[in-house]
Structure 1
């Protein structure tokens, strides 16, 4: 197994999603990493032909690294609903359409689950994080969080957060502050959200806290 490569200096966050950008910058902040987004660099959004989260994250990270000449950090994530055989999964953003209508996407999930006639409310979020360098070197990390679907509650977070209640909690991601959702207990390596859990693994391998 190769030794993980340490990230230093500047990194491109390969996203045009404002919610993801905020979370990623907050996660990177303690490590002294300067983060610039693909949107701020006017980089195009690549097609995502993969059938797995990791494949699409790698596509985005490599495209940004090649276009910018900098290491790039990409996330591909989504909601997998048990009653829908894992849908929307990698198509989570597409279910919201070009206008990013997640209210409509959440309603679609509820309608399709009801149509299946199943009592299951189980679902999980997946996040695949990829660090890619211009020379092609890649590091991949994945995090998951399991929970239940509920009627949407809360106006915090983004995407499907209002309809997802993680196991062990009474509130949805949409009712949690950003620190509650993706804050990290670095002493114990503990985190709640899928993206934060993947980031804990990434940080332990590829980041060093400033001394």
Structure 2
């Protein structure tokens, strides 16, 4: 059994489109303060595995706006709750140049941990750089001493496998009554997420794209 650390049944339903045997795990892992989705998801997956002693996946996602230097990014939920999506849209409009045309992206990172060893995948997020080192608890000396350490292993815990999904679009005036969060101000191919049906949204979802990558790897594993 694979456990998806979430209380959102919609996420579990989406995951079941790519995975045969997955169920929700209600576990309040420590959500560290970080500018990287990788750091947050990887730490959460390792902590959830230690709690459940079963294979787990944790996701972290956010809206990254080009004109705001990637803000709100990992802080998307907090910013939505405190200032609202319309304020983010106005700020993006004020800060962007004409050449950027409101460009933005929804990003999601899926982190998997089962306590066993595994090799690194070719996914771009799974690489031996400072971001991955931070996610896997490697300190600066360890990182510089082993440039090939890209499998997520560390002395303080088991390896974590990382998979990223991205959907690109642009920030617009709010449109549509569906979806949730930033969906009304995020337009993809001329339609905001809030104007899409659930089927249409899931077909291009950043979480779905990350789950598809993970599902392919997991079935082979």
Does TM, normalized by the shorter one, top 0.5?
yes
Q: Which residue of the partner structure matches residue 186 of structure 1?
A: none
1:152 to 140, 165, 174: 174
SS at match of 1:123: strand
Q: Which residue of the partner structure matches residue 61 of structure 2?
A: 77
CA shift for structure 1 position 137: 3.5
- Contact 2:86 / 2:174 at 8 angstroms: preserved in 1? no
TM-score, with length taken from structure 2 = 0.72
Q: Which residue of the partner structure matches residue 34 of structure 1?
A: 22
Q: Which residue of the partner structure matches residue 147 of structure 2?
A: none
CA shift for structure 1 position 176: 1.3
CA shift for structure 1 position 117: 5.9
Say what the alpha-carbon RMSD is for the aligned residues: 2.1
- Contact 1:128 / 1:140 at 8 angstroms: preserved in 2? yes
- Contact 2:12 / 2:22 at 8 angstroms: preserved in 1? no
**Uncovered stretches (5+) of structure 2, i.e. residues with no partner:** 117-157
Encode CA deviations 1:37-85: one digit per residue, 9 max, x unaligned.
32xxxx2241323331111111221221111111111111111111111
Task: Mark the CA change 1:15 to 1:36 in structure 2 (over 3 Å): closer, same or farther.
Answer: closer
- Contact 1:23 / 1:182 at 8 angstroms: preserved in 2? no
TM-score, with length taken from structure 1 = 0.75
Distance 1:86 1:31 in 2: 31
Q: How many residues align?
A: 177
- Contact 1:150 / 1:164 at 8 angstroms: preserved in 2? yes
- Contact 1:80 / 1:87 at 8 angstroms: preserved in 2? yes
CA shift for structure 1 position 149: 0.9
Task: Mark the CA change 1:204 to 1:30 in structure 2 (over 3 Å): closer, same or farther.
Answer: closer
Distance 2:175 2:160 in 1: 38
1:172 equivalent to 2:192? Answer yes
Task: Mark the CA change 1:206 to 1:80 in structure 2 (over 3 Å): closer, same or farther.
Answer: same
Task: Mark the CA change 1:86 to 1:197 in structure 2 (over 3 Å): closer, same or farther.
Answer: same
1:91 equivalent to 2:75? Answer yes
Q: Which residue of the partner structure matches residue 51 of structure 1?
A: 35
CA shift for structure 1 position 111: 2.6
Distance 2:66 2:80 in 1: 19
CA shift for structure 1 position 29: 4.3
